[in-house]
Structure 1
Amino acid sequence: MIAASSSQLFRITRNPESKSAAISATVECLGNLREAITTPGFGDLGVTILPTTLMLATTCVCAGDTTTFRKHLNGALHIVQRDKAKYSLDPLWWMGLKWLVHMLLMNRLSGLPLPSRQSKGFIDWDYLLTCMPDLGRIDLTSGFSRELVTALNMVCELSEPRCINVDAGGQLQGNDLARSACSHELELRLFELRKKTASTVTDVVLRIELETSHRLFTDATLLCLYRRVDELPKDDPKVQIAVKSIINSLQNIGKQSPVHAQLLWPLLAAGCDSTTHAERTIVVETMESMTARGLGSYENVLEFMRDYWKNGGDMRWDLFAKQTGKDLVLF
């Protein structure tokens, strides 16, 4: 926590002492974490290893160190595989799983080849999804639902061959019909997910923020489907309808609301595919508000988005990031 808070303070104030404090705390935390992982019978405190690892991963990605972030993510997956039977009833463990699911999805959206422990077949998604609420409910922590996580994961699966410079030849062409049918089914499913409500939440502000966050993630998933799987151009009506829906949804959340901390992906997706100055202004103002508070990796992403507007043309933002050597994890 000291490392994370010092890192955030540095992003706000640019105070060198805060950066030094963050580095020192990170080094100490890593040493303690290694000892905890390798010490037999660490006892009940062992449940803290997963959230500690994820806190380190979050601190790294917010600082722009995506390489170390992915190493921590691999470590977190190893911890889950090793300890899932031991802590299955602990609330802290389930919070860590939700955190991990969000980070895994945001990492997949970078469009880069996945690290070894995140490759297809290694992650037990059936187990990870058990941390999400029952079908029909929005998670109070992340703003996702179990159905939306499943849909987004499928969109990432469908888009992966198109994110890698490999000549798949006839094999890829032969799968086009199946891909198209699956894409259409996902589109219909996402249309339905846009209507999801948090009717059991009594706090009005929280309910609006939850429903809006879920709708933003759903529309961002639609954009990913249209641009990466269906390969629609930026000016296609479907793409622009999704962009406008995201922009409209943003108006339902106050610019100072901390819920924006987890909405970096929808903001970037809508911002890059937006075509009007008014839409881009709304996105920039929201991101600048978060940057001023030192939240997430908003500063790095805002810089990238401005470069994309200048030089990206109709190219997908993930391909432009790859072309320019920018590694983005939207967390």
Structure 2
Amino acid sequence: MSLVAPPSAYMSRIQAKMSIRAILSETTTVVFPLASRTFLDRLLSSAMQTPHLLFALLASSDSHARRRLASKPVNDTALNYTNNAIAGLRAALSNDPNAHQPVEMAMTAMALCTNDVCDGNLDRFRVHLAGVRGMLMSGLLNSRKDPFATYLFKWFAALDVSAGLSLFHKSNPSSKKMNQAWRVALAGSSEDGVDDICGYSLDLLPILAEVGELARERYSHPEETALLSWGETLESRITAVTGTAARYPLEQLGEKETELRTTHAAFVHTALLHLHRRVYLLPKTHPTVRNDVRSILDTVRSVRSTSTANILLLWPIFSAGCETDEASERALLDERMAIMQEMGMGNFTRARDTLKRLWASETELRWDIWLAEQGVDLVLF
């Protein structure tokens, strides 16, 4: 499939300046810092053959460039790309979806979701994510023996689970239907090792979803001590995946493998931190909680401050920041967030601003309770 005609004046202008592929590549390698070349090349080649996916990625690239250059005047380019992506996606969905590249359609919605998160448009994010979830649960992708579908599900799950660790979004990879979709999407792929899209073991994905679910239950029913047994079961499962090793193609071993091991460890310690604080309700000064925070900080320190691998660590960084009163620890975390913010990651901008507000408030409330009372909605992906 090829572009029938120049899709818009916006496309013509951007083509006159530089290669579309180069523009998209710069953004995708930042959003997916440790992803395999196979995934990135397939995403770009699919976009060049699928107008609505191309528009969605161009919208992301334009937004990303403007976030990196904060002084650059805002115009309607990204909005026009987004509108074209949505219009093309709706047109495809209105016909027989099986004849219109279902994986690429879902990828378009995922690209829009991710840009929504970085731009702070969380209402639109939830609409787009719900659409992807519907596609995954409908069996639309079952007939496709395409590795691209595997990447799609992992991209969706990483974003959905990150959102589910907050109080404002219910992620459900642990539900029966999502489990079925999960098995279909990952058919033939290995779940061993650290995943290069998520930054942690796929075995940890459903556990993180359950941690978020349990934390919300505990928030709603703080006197319900029966929930503690669920927490103990999850803690045992988390411990079981602690030592998962990174598995990467031979030509890509080295620094990426080390960074994948590190990001996985960071999420393991973050899962434990959320259990200890939000489920067991231990105070932030408790030795167990302090050990969780220090363990997260150790993983952060082991990643170069300018490495894009830090992009995968937003939840661990934010979680540790919420649970420490130590000035030196806060300074380290704020520095990392500032560097990622300068790379155009708008999700770091909002998380950093929220964290600074939390610190300035000197509240005794746990961070999730404070966020709920302040009406702050975050998706930390």
Equivalence for 2:37:
none
Shift of 1:114: 3.3
Shift of 1:162: 2.6
Equivalence for 1:240:
290
Asked whether the 8 Å contact 2:149–2:185 carries over to 1, the reply is: no
One of 345, 351, 354 as aligned partner of 1:301: 351
Q: How does 1:15-54 map to 2 (within 5 A)?
A: 17=73, 19-40=75-96, 43=99, 45-54=101-110
Shift of 1:260: 1.6
One of 191, 197, 200 as aligned partner of 2:245: 197
Equivalence for 2:236:
188
Q: Provide the secondary structure at the position in 1 that maps to 2:76.
A: helix
| Aligned: 1:82 with 2:130 | no
Q: Distance in 2 between matches of 1:129 and 1:312?
A: 45
| Aligned: 1:150 with 2:200 | no
Query: CA deviation digits over 1:250-308, x for unaligned, max 9?
Result: 11111121122221111100011112111111101110000001025100110000011
Q: TM-score, normalised by structure 2?
A: 0.78
Q: Return 5+ residue gaps in structure 1 as ranges.
A: none
Query: CA deviation digits over 1:40-71, x for unaligned, max 9?
Result: 26636332011110100111111111111001
Q: Distance in 1 between matches of 2:312 and 2:66?
A: 20
Q: Distance in 2 between matches of 1:62 and 1:289?
A: 15
Identify if the C-alpha distance between structure 1 residues 318 and 12 changes in structure 2 by more than 3 Å, giving closer, same or farther.
Answer: same
Query: CA deviation digits over 1:96-148, x for unaligned, max 9?
Result: 10011011111111212539xx6984751343266566354211221121321
Equivalence for 1:226:
276
Structure 2 letter corresponding to 1:185: T
Q: How does 1:258-269 map to 2 (within 5 A)?
A: 258-269=308-319
Q: Which one is further off, 93-102 or 316-325?
A: 316-325
Q: Distance in 2 between matches of 1:204 and 1:2?
A: 31
Q: Distance in 2 between matches of 1:294 and 1:87?
A: 37
Q: Distance in 1 between matches of 2:347 and 2:75?
A: 16
Identify if the C-alpha distance between structure 1 residues 241 and 201 changes in structure 2 by more than 3 Å, giving closer, same or farther.
Answer: farther
| Aligned: 1:127 with 2:177 | no
Identify if the C-alpha distance between structure 1 residues 4 and 15 changes in structure 2 by more than 3 Å, giving closer, same or farther.
Answer: farther
Q: TM-score, normalised by structure 1?
A: 0.89
Asked whether the 8 Å contact 1:190–1:218 carries over to 2, the reply is: yes
Identify if the C-alpha distance between structure 1 residues 41 and 69 changes in structure 2 by more than 3 Å, giving closer, same or farther.
Answer: closer
Asked whether the 8 Å contact 2:68–2:344 carries over to 1, the reply is: yes
Equivalence for 2:331:
281
Q: Distance in 1 between matches of 2:236 and 2:147?
A: 34
Q: Return 5+ residue gaps in structure 2 as ranges.
A: 1-56
Structure 2 letter corresponding to 1:306: K
Equivalence for 2:43:
none
> How high is the sequence identity, in percent, across the aligned residues?
26
Structure 2 letter corresponding to 1:22: A
